[in-house]
Structure formats: structure tokens, C-alpha cells
Amino acid sequence: MAVRTILHYPDARLRRAGKKVVGFDDALGRLIDDMSETMYAAPGVGLAATQIAEYWQVFVVDCAPEGEPSDLRVFVNPEIVSQEGSGTSSEGCLSFPAAREDIERAEKVRVRAQDRNGVWFELETEGLLAVAIQHEYDHLQGILMIDRLGPLKKRLLHRKMVKRAEAGAAASG
């Protein structure tokens, strides 16, 4: 297992959609293990393959409360099959370091996906896990947190992230 580099906005690679996984092999297992280790090291509650420049329909989430045992969940080739209600919650994203924004999402979702071995499952959930699933699913479509903001907040977050990227480039260059 290895901790991978997480792409940060405004990196254009974050806009690439993931491809369907067809091979449930050792390479996929290593990718999932690397994604999990990267998510925990960040630390975060979710990570999509596209955030580490791997363009596959795969994401991992672990919404276990701090101090509780891990509840790692793997979603391969996910599809959100139903959504109910609407609510706003404060979201962060590993590709938007130090940013938190109020995002409107469905309160309850049903997702259909495969596990790391290719076995299909369905899960209906709400709360933080539902938010995390929708957030990571968006990543696999090339949709980012910033895309769910109004024009003013979008402009402000974009400027903040561009300045952060420029400061990072100047410091390392």
C-alpha cells in the first residue's frame, strides 16, 4: 500500500470522468488499498480514484465517528438509483484543502455498486454517508464541489484555490 498524491483544484485532471471497471484483479485491489491509505493519511472520509489521477469508477468512504472502529466501504461502478429529500450541509474535499462550503444534496440515497470482488450490492442510506456517496460519485463524473455553488461563492472559492496553488508553486519552485 502507498499514500498517493491527491490532485488539488484547479488541476484540470479533476474534470476527467472515470471509466467502468471491468477487471476485478490484483491491480484493482492495490488501487483500492492505496486509495484507503491515502484517504486515512489525508485525513478524510472519502476519496475517488479520479482524485489521485486514476480514471476508474471507484471510490472509498469511511464515515465512522472518531474513536469508533473503521467502517471502510468500497464502491466500484456505482450508480445512484434513487434520491429523496433535500438538505444542506457543510462539506470539505481533499481536492480543496482547508475549504468548507454549504452544499445542497439529497438527504437519502440508494446506490447500486460492486465491491472490490465484483459482487453487486445496493445500499440505502442517509446522513453523512449519503452526503459522502453523492460527493464521491460526483468526482467520478468530473463534477466538483465548486460546481454546486452559486456564482459568487464559486468565484470566491476559485480565487482562493488559485492563490493557494500559485503560493505552493512559488514555494516549491
Residues 166 and 1: their CA atoms lie apart, in Å, by 31
Q: Is the pTM of this model over 0.85?
A: yes
In which residue are the cell numbers 471497471 written?
A: 21
- Which residue among the candidates 107, 124, 136, 166 is catalytic per the annotation? 136
Residues 13 and 67: their CA atoms lie apart, in Å, by 34
Band (pLDDT 50/70/90 cuts) for residue 172 is: confident
How much is the average pLDDT of 65-92? 96
Residues counted in the chain: 173
Are 130 and 106 contacting, i.e. CB atoms less than 8 angstroms apart?
yes
- Is 136 a residue of the active site? yes
144 C-beta neighbours (distance < 10 Å), count: 21
Question: Which pLDDT tens digit goes with each residue over 79-132?
Answer: 999 999 999 999 999 999 999 999 999 999 999 999 999 999 999 999 999 999
Domains detected in the chain: 12-172 (3.90.45.10)
Residue 119's pLDDT is what?
A: 98
